[in-house]
């Protein structure tokens, strides 16, 4: 009878320990998933903006006839968002931009008409 009581007591005490162990192992994948999600988010952001981007800069230049490039001081820059310059085809403009050296393009942030032609990019 004492052995049976001891066995029941041992089982009763081991059940909470087993339940706790199962709960702990279920938490670990979610932490791992959060880390993987953070890495994926960072990779997506770098892919969108380019891993080598520089702070906002300004320059003046001449927009190509199709709005896909900007020429300043005899150097032509490819535009990653040409729709922003479409209304300025063939015109001299001043732009605020971000340079992406991964694909050698500039993303135009703002544009305004300019009287000067082809001034140097400011850094």
**CATH at 98:** 2.40.50
Pairwise CA distance, residues 39 & 44, whole Å: 9
% of the chain with per-residue pLDDT over 70: 67
Task: Name 78's Cβ contacts closer than 8 Å, sequence gap at least 6.
Answer: 68, 69, 104, 105, 106
Pairwise CA distance, residues 6 & 10, whole Å: 6
Pairwise CA distance, residues 119 & 61, whole Å: 6
SS3 90: coil
pLDDT digits (tens, 9 = 90+) for 76-109: 999 999 999 989 999 999 999 998 877 878 999 9
Contact assessment for residue 85 and residue 108, using Cβ atoms and an 8 Å cutoff:
yes
If asked whether residues 43 and 70 sit together in one domain, one would say no
If asked whether residues 39 and 65 sit together in one domain, one would say no
Of 34-43, 49-58, 75-84, which one has max mean pLDDT?
75-84
Range of the domain at 73: 57-113
Is 120 inside a domain boundary? no
Q: Which of 88, 77, 80, 78 is nearest to 111 (CA)?
A: 88
Task: Name 71's Cβ contacts closer than 8 Å, sequence gap at least 6.
Answer: 61, 62, 64, 77, 118
Task: Please name every residue paired with 42 in a beta bridge, in sequence order, or none if there are none.
Answer: none
Is 76 inside a domain boundary? yes
pTM above 0.75, yes or no: no
Of 7-21, 23-37, 41-55, 85-99, which one has max mean pLDDT?
85-99
Is 118 inside a domain boundary? no
If asked whether residues 4 and 44 sit together in one domain, one would say yes
């Amino acid at each position: 009878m004492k052995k049976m009581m001891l066995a029941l007591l041992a089982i009763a005490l081991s059940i909470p320990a087993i339940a706790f162990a199962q709960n702990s192992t279920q938490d670990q994948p979610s932490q791992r998933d959060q880390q993987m999600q953070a890495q994926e988010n960072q990779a997506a952001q770098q892919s969108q903006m380019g891993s080598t981007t520089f702070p906002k800069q300004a320059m003046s230049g001449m927009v190509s006839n199709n709005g896909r490039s900007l020429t300043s001081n005899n150097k032509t820059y490819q535009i990653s968002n040409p729709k922003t310059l479409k209304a300025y085809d063939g015109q001299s403009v001043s732009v605020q931009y971000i340079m992406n050296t991964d694909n050698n393009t500039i993303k135009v942030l703002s544009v305004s008409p300019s009287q000067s032609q082809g001034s140097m990019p400011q850094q």
